[in-house]
């Protein structure tokens, strides 16, 4: 006769090994047999009666009967078992009970799992509740994860708090720039001058996108991109000509001429102007002529 019940075979093998090692506990064996027969309550009660409470707790945990497992823990004065909390949290998460799962992950100090549950659902307040109790020394990765979710959601206040907790000034500057918090960006740059170069180019782009061309022009210059400053003036000049605002067009052509002059790098060089400088000189002459023509109108 062949026995195909693998669990029963494993139990027999384990019992035989324990018997040979003279470590077999008969009361444990009786409880295991009851559990094998599906008599779980009787098995748990037998374990408890014979001071094998841990076996009863493990049995209930395996059966996903976490309430019964926790009741036993409380009744017998044991501290909450993080392993049981983890298994219960995983079970709740996998069965769609995400709020309860996140709370248990937090209790078990598995903050990453809790943050991910909240983050996937954009529950930012709950992420912050977890985040504000984290320790930078022990939970740097978890705080960074909080910052990531806050940043993705565009929540400047929460993300700012996270970066401050981390002491990540560069990350904070990137946040200000990304979310167009320019006042705070420039204030931070005043305190950390080495970060100032990160601001001007994106700030100039933002100004340009919001039709604040004069300010954008200056910002591009501060960003070390006079070529982009020149493009703005070219754009304004084109619009003025199309709209027949000839006085404005004359002013913009004069500005283009001045900008072209500033772009010449080898002015006064013994070798003479290079190819690029010759282009700027030609542009200067052309723009000055056009400025005079439109001024005549």
pLDDT at residue 3, rounded to an integer: 46
pLDDT at residue 166, rounded to an integer: 96
Measured distance CA(293)–CA(297) in Å, rounded: 7
pLDDT at residue 99, rounded to an integer: 94
Give the pLDDT of the chain (297 residues) as one tens digit per residue: 344 554 555 555 555 555 555 544 566 566 666 666 667 677 666 666 666 666 666 766 666 766 766 666 666 665 556 677 778 888 889 888 899 899 989 988 999 999 999 999 999 999 999 999 999 999 999 999 999 999 999 999 999 999 999 999 999 999 999 999 999 999 999 999 999 989 999 999 999 889 898 899 889 988 888 888 888 888 888 887 888 888 878 887 888 888 778 777 655 555 566 777 788 788 888 878 877 887 776
pLDDT at residue 292, rounded to an integer: 83
Residue 272 CB neighbours (<10 A): 9
Measured distance CA(244)–CA(297) in Å, rounded: 10
Alpha helices for the chain (secondary structure H): 6-20, 26-36, 40-49, 53-62, 66-75, 82-94, 98-107, 111-120, 124-131, 136-153, 156-166, 169-178, 182-191, 197-209, 213-222, 226-242, 246-263, 275-296
Residues 6+ apart with CB under 8 A from 246: 240, 294, 295, 297
pLDDT at residue 230, rounded to an integer: 83
Burial class (CB in 10 A: 0-12, 13-18, 19+), 43: buried
Measured distance CA(190)–CA(180) in Å, rounded: 17
CA angle 31, 70, 36 (to 5 degrees): 20
If you search the block for the tokens 């006079």, which residue do you land on? 226
Sequence ranges of the domains in the chain = 196-297
């Amino acid at each position: 006769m062949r026995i195909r019940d693998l669990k029963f075979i494993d139990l027999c093998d384990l019992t035989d090994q324990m018997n040979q090692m003279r470590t077999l506990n008969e009361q444990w064996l009786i409880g295991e047999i009851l559990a094998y027969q599906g008599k779980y309550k009787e098995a748990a009660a037998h374990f408890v009666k014979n001071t094998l409470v841990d076996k009863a707790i493990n049995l209930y945990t395996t059966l996903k009967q976490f309430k019964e497992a926790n009741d036993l823990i409380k009744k017998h004065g044991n501290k909450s078992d993080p392993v049981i909390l983890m298994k219960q949290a995983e079970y709740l998460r996998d069965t769609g009970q995400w709020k309860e799962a996140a709370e248990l992950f937090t209790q078990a100090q598995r903050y990453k799992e809790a943050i991910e549950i909240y983050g996937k659902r954009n529950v930012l307040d709950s992420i912050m509740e977890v985040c504000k109790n984290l320790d930078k020394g022990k939970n740097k990765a978890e705080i960074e994860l909080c910052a990531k979710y806050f940043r993705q959601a565009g929540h400047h206040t929460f993300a700012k708090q996270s970066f401050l907790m981390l002491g990540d000034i560069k990350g904070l500057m990137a946040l200000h720039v990304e979310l167009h918090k320019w006042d705070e960006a420039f204030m931070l740059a005043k305190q950390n001058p080495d970060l100032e170069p990160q601001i001007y180019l994106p700030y100039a782009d933002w100004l340009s996108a919001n039709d604040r061309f004069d300010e954008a022009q200056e910002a591009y210059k501060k960003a070390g991109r006079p070529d982009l400053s020149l493009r703005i003036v070219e754009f304004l000049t084109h619009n003025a000509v199309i709209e027949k605002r000839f006085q404005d067009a004359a002013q913009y052509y004069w500005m283009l001429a001045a900008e072209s002059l500033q772009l010449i790098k080898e002015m006064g060089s013994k070798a003479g102007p290079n190819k690029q400088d010759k282009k700027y000189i030609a542009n200067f002459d052309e723009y000055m002529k056009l400025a005079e023509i439109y001024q005549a109108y």
